[in-house]
Every structure is written in C-alpha cells, then in structure tokens.
Amino acid sequence: MIGVVLLACLMLPGAGAFAQDGAGEQEKKQCLKCHGEQGSVKKFPDGDFVSTYVDAHALDRSVHRSLRCTSCHKEFTNQRHPDRAFRNKLQFRIKESHGCRDCHAEGTIKSRAIHEALFKKEEAGEAVVCANCHSAHAVTHIAGGNVSKSEEKYCLRCHASEKKMVFRSGESVSTRVKLAELQGSPHRNVGCSDCHFGFSSEEHPRRQFRSERQYRLSSSEICRRCHFDMYTKAAEGIHYAMLSVGKLEAPTCIDCHGGHAISSLGNNRLAVVQKCKTCHSEVYEVYARSVHGGALFKENNKDVPICTDCHSSHGIKDPSLPEFHDTIPDTCSKCHSNAVLMGKYGLSTEVVKTYLTDFHGVTLGLYQKEQKESPERYRPDRPMAVCTDCHGTHGIAAVSGAGVQALKKTLLKRCQTCHRNATENFPDAWLSHYKPSLTNAPLVFIVEQFYKIMMPLMVVGLLFQVFLHIWRYLVNR
C-alpha cells in the first residue's frame, strides 16, 4: 500500500504554486482551528489513544497538500463532525486506510512488487495500514516508490483538471494539460518526466518564480536537453542576445513552438508568419502587401518565402548588421536562381547572374572573400547595394506590370541613397538585369560584339606573324 498514497501526491502540483481553491483553504483553516493544537487526543476503549494534532507545516509539504481535508475524511464536513467509536487504535487506522483506496486503485497498488507481500498478509486476515509506511498527513514520496506504467496518466490525474500556478507577481497560469493536445503533438511518445526533468512519481519539487515570464523562460530550458542543435543555433541568434541583456520579452522555444501542444511549425507556413506577427506586427503588415506575402495569404502559395526562409528560424541574425546585409543575394538566389521554380512564374534566373557579374555583385563577392580570409583587416569602403536595396525588403513589389517610368523614378531614389548626386540618367547605367542586346542597351551590345570579333582576329594575326617569322628564320638557317 505504501506507494499508494504517493500516487496521489505526485499529482499534486509541485510548486507551491498550486493554489487550493478558496473553499478548500477555508475548510483546512477551520479544521486546523482544533486539529492544529497539540495536546488533544482521541481515546479508545482499551485505554490507547491517538493524537488528533495535524502538523500544518508537514501537510503543506506533503504530496496531498492540494487535497481538501474532506477528500480523505469523507464523513466530515464543515457542519458535521460525527463522533465515531473504534474498538482500538488498529481498527481506527484500518478504517482510515480504506480511504486511500478510493483514489489509489487496487490494481495500481498491486503493480508494485513491494506491495505484494502486504497483499498476501491481507489475504491471510492481517490488517494492512497504508499510513504505517507512508504516514498520514505528512505523506511524502518514497524513493523507488510507485511509478505509473503510463506516466502520462499518472500526471494527468492532477494536471487534467483546472488548477493554477500562482507567481509572486500575482500572475498565474493554468497547470492543466490537455491530453488531446499532447497526443496530437510530435512529443506524444515522450514521457512527462522526460521534459519535466526532476519531476517524477517520486519527486515534485516546489518552485517559485517571480513572474509568468520567468517561468516560461525557465521552461524553455527544458528543450535544450534533446534539441541541443537548435538550442545552440538559437543561442547565436538575436533573440537570445536580447534575452542575455535582460530583454525578457524576446521569444524562447515555447513562445513559438508552444508547450504541450508543441508543433515544429515546419509545415504550416501560415502559422510561422502568424507567430512572428505576435511581436513583429508592423513588418507583417508590410509583408502582407508585398508580392510574396500577397501570394501566401491569397493563394496559400507554398513557394513564396516566409519570415524564416530569409531570417532563418533559430540562429536569427541581427538584420541591421553588415554581415546580414551582405548575404542577402545568397538568400534571394535560393529561389531566384532555381530555374524550375522561377519557370513556374515566368521569372528569369538571369537576375542573380547579372547582379553577380556587375559592379555591385563582383565587389560584394570580393568583400566576402576578404572577410573570410582576414576578418580582422576587413574594412570595406562602403556597403554594396544588394537585392533589397533596390527592390525593398518586406514590401517587395512585382516589377512586371509596373510602369517603366514609375520604376525608374523609384530606382533613382534608391540609387541616390549611395550615389547622392545621381541624376535621372544614372539609373540607366544599370541594365536592369537584362543582358545587352540590339533592343536592350544596343551600345553595350555592339561594343561587346566588336571586341568579340576583333580580339580573336588580332590574336590569330599576331600569332601568324610570329610563327611565319620563326619559320623563315629556321628555313634560312
């Protein structure tokens, strides 16, 4: 029977946090008015007696601390205190022990090997009293005690019902775990104590948190034990950096993934965007109006990038850093150099190539090379224009369909960010991702064609001269 009592205990929420409901608390107070006083006893006809004193402190630390007095002492209520007659102390104790079995099912008790001998004794007519081992009001965990076959079931005995965990700030959270959510999550085969490390059927430490945020931050640490790779990535990200300087509003694992209803979010692209919106609503609004966001929301298009495609999900870099800015062409080219993907929308993959072979792209590529080779000496003169500097970031609009003149006007403004005195001729210096042709930048095309013909002609002519000269020299000798 021993572990039996324990079973209930564990469910009792650990943290001092479980507040008994008001009525329970009141009931306890009333009972303790008398039972909290030492010295009073219940006498038995044989002269034996038992103290009626209940150590309130021990009860508070017991696994039953959240139970009402009348949960076990069922014959008693606030109004009714029957005077019960027992032949002796043993009879009293046996009677009280029966109450344990109201909650701790016999099968569960029997499943523990340690109880086997006790059941045999009971069958032989010997009385078995739970409190002999587990004590009564101070019932605590026993190391090596009962472990539920299904930990989940075990924990849910308490955590299936609505209870609150109260923080010092006065905030509270429900400790209720919805089984359906848990079973629908990728963690359905993970035991409660696998995540709630330190909690088991034997242990349920009482924890104190200043605020709900503190509690949630602490809970996120749980994830690290299994998802160390993601945790490490996140530790290099901007959110973790914010946390480390005391900006506690920065999100941690559970803020994005949820707790028991955990989700990898990976497949639900809309949900990811919505998650980010929680904090980044301004960006969200701009994104929603962009060519990418529009396709996501209107058509549920799975090809368009969502927040995490560009910013990554865990190791999110500070987008204001040059290191982030300089990798933007790589980010955009993940899709825009994919011929199959771009083909679906009639977009050219030349955009990446033309950027990379032009002044900005070449310079940026060399800057990156320099940075890789000698990061300590890397001091670029100026930032290089990347995709977003001309096309915009979250509010990227489709280029096709927009009027050429309107585009040029916008482009000039963008050019002037770096080239301050640029005039309206200036944007034409950029061939707008087009390859030179007779219709597009004919001057450039003609120059290139001229040299394409001239260069080989000259080289062949010169080599011809050289070989003839050598040949004549050899013949003359």
Interacting residues toward another protein by CB under 8 A: 359, 362-363, 365-367, 369-370, 373-374, 377-381, 419-423, 425-431, 436, 441, 443-444, 447-448, 451, 454-455, 458-459, 462-463, 465-466, 468-473, 475
Dihedral sign of CA atoms 124, 126, 131, 133 in order: negative
CA-to-CA distance for 134 and 112, rounded, in angstroms? 14
Going by C-alpha positions, the residue among 62, 136, 53 that lies closest to residue 94 is: 136
Q: How far is the CB of 323 from another protein (least distance, A)?
A: 16
228 versus 451: smaller Cβ distance to another protein? 451
Instruction: Identify which of 102, 38, 26 has the alpha carbon closest to the alpha carbon of residue 71.
Output: 102
What's the closest the beta carbon of residue 317 comes to another protein, in angstroms?
Answer: 23
Q: How far is the CB of 440 from another protein (least distance, A)?
A: 10
Least distance between another protein and beta carbon 391 (Å): 19
Q: Which residue, 229 or 376, is less far from another protein as judged by CB?
A: 376
- Given a contact cutoff of 8 angstroms between Cβ atoms, the answer to whether 272 and 309 are in contact is no
Cβ 280 vs Cβ 249: under 8 Å: no
Tell me if residue 15 falls in helix, strand or coil. Answer: coil
Q: How far is the CB of 349 from another protein (least distance, A)?
A: 19
Q: Which long-range contacts (CB under 8 A, 24 or more apart) does 119-126 make?
A: none
In angstroms, give the least distance from the CB of 287 to another protein: 32
What is the closest distance, in whole angstroms, from the C-beta atom of residue 465 to another protein in the complex? Answer: 7
Identity of the residue, 324 or 426, whose beta carbon is nearer to another protein in the bound complex: 426
Minimum distance from residue 224 beta carbon to another protein (Å): 40
CA–CA dist 99, 85 (Å, integer):
17
DSSP 312-337: -SSS---TTSHHHHHTHHHHHHHHHT
Identify which of residues 55 and 370 has a Cβ nearer to another protein in the complex: 370
Calpha distance 366→356 (Å, rounded): 11
The nearer residue to another protein, 398 or 444, going by C-beta atoms, is: 444
Q: How far apart are CA 167 and CA 218, in angstroms?
A: 13
Residue 124: burial class (beta carbons within 10 Å; 0-12, 13-18, 19+): exposed
**Total Cβ atoms within 10 A of residue 67:** 21
Which position has the token pair 């090997």? 113
Residue with Cβ nearer another protein (61 or 419): 419
Of 33 and 420, CB closest to another protein: 420
Nearer to another protein, 248 or 366 (CB): 366
Q: Please count the residues of the chain.
A: 477
Contacts of 239 (CB under 8 A, 6+ apart): 250, 251, 252, 316
What is the number of other CB atoms lying within 10 angstroms of the CB of residue 396? 19
Q: Which is nearer to another protein, 236 or 428 (CB)?
A: 428
- In angstroms, what is the minimal distance from the CB of 406 to another protein? 17
Amino acid at 445: F
CB–CB of 173/165 below 8 Å? Answer: yes
Give 388-391's long-range contacts (Cβ < 8 A, gap of 24+): 388/328, 388/332, 389/414, 389/417, 390/414
Helices and strands in the chain: count of H runs, count of E runs? 27, 4
**Smallest gap, in angstroms, from Cβ of residue 179 to another protein?**
59
What minimum distance in Å lies between the beta carbon of 445 and another protein?
9
